[in-house]
Amino acid sequence: MSLQDPVSDMLVRIKNAQAVSKKFVKFPASKLKTSILEVLKDEGYIADFQTSEELKAETQVELKYYDGQAVIEEIRRISRPSLRIYKGATELPVVKGGLGIAIVSTCQGVMTASKARAKNLGGELLCVVA
């Protein structure tokens, strides 16, 4: 089965797994997904992730909970294959008054919108996490 939007598939799998309080979730691996997961781990939204080194590599994400509640309350794809959303450094959004993050793909890699704003970089707005 071919996926039209693998990043959306990853985000939906994470959201659905947290809705039923799963500890782990697996999905096919890619470099972009790994970059997004590194940002989520650095920001404290997931506990950890591992990528297998097989022919069909899979990524396993350990989800994070606090007092029985999922740490990720909202995870939403913004830019998608049929409608790419690009923003300049001054146009990058502030999510929930700074309590959430927006993940941006810039020329210097995938990072949060606040880091991109500090470096005066714009790019493709991939997703919003709160």
Task: Tell me the pTM.
Answer: 0.95
Judged against a pLDDT cut of 60, whether residue 82 lies above it is answered with yes
Count Cβ atoms below 10 Å from residue 44 Cβ, excluding itself. 11
Collect all residues with Cβ–Cβ distance below 8 Å to 54 and sequence separation of at least 6.
none
* Average of per-residue pLDDT across 1-17: 91
**pLDDT tens digit sequence for 86-98:** 999 999 999 999 9
* Average of per-residue pLDDT across 39-67: 96
Shared domain for 58 and 88, answered yes or no, is no
Q: Across the chain, what does the average pLDDT equal?
A: 96
The total number of structural domains in the chain stands at: 2
Cβ atoms of 129 and 95 closer than 8 Å: yes
Residue 79 lies in a domain: yes
Shared domain for 25 and 64, answered yes or no, is yes
Judged against a pLDDT cut of 90, whether residue 64 lies above it is answered with yes
Residue 93 lies in a domain: yes
Count Cβ atoms below 10 Å from residue 32 Cβ, excluding itself. 14
Q: Please give the backbone phi and psi of residue 57, each rounded to the nearest 5 degrees, phi first.
A: -65, 140
Give the pLDDT confidence score for residue 2 in this predicted structure: 58
The conformation of residue 85, written as its DSSP 8-state character, comes to: -
Percentage of the chain exceeding pLDDT 90: 95
Give the pLDDT confidence score for residue 3 in this predicted structure: 81
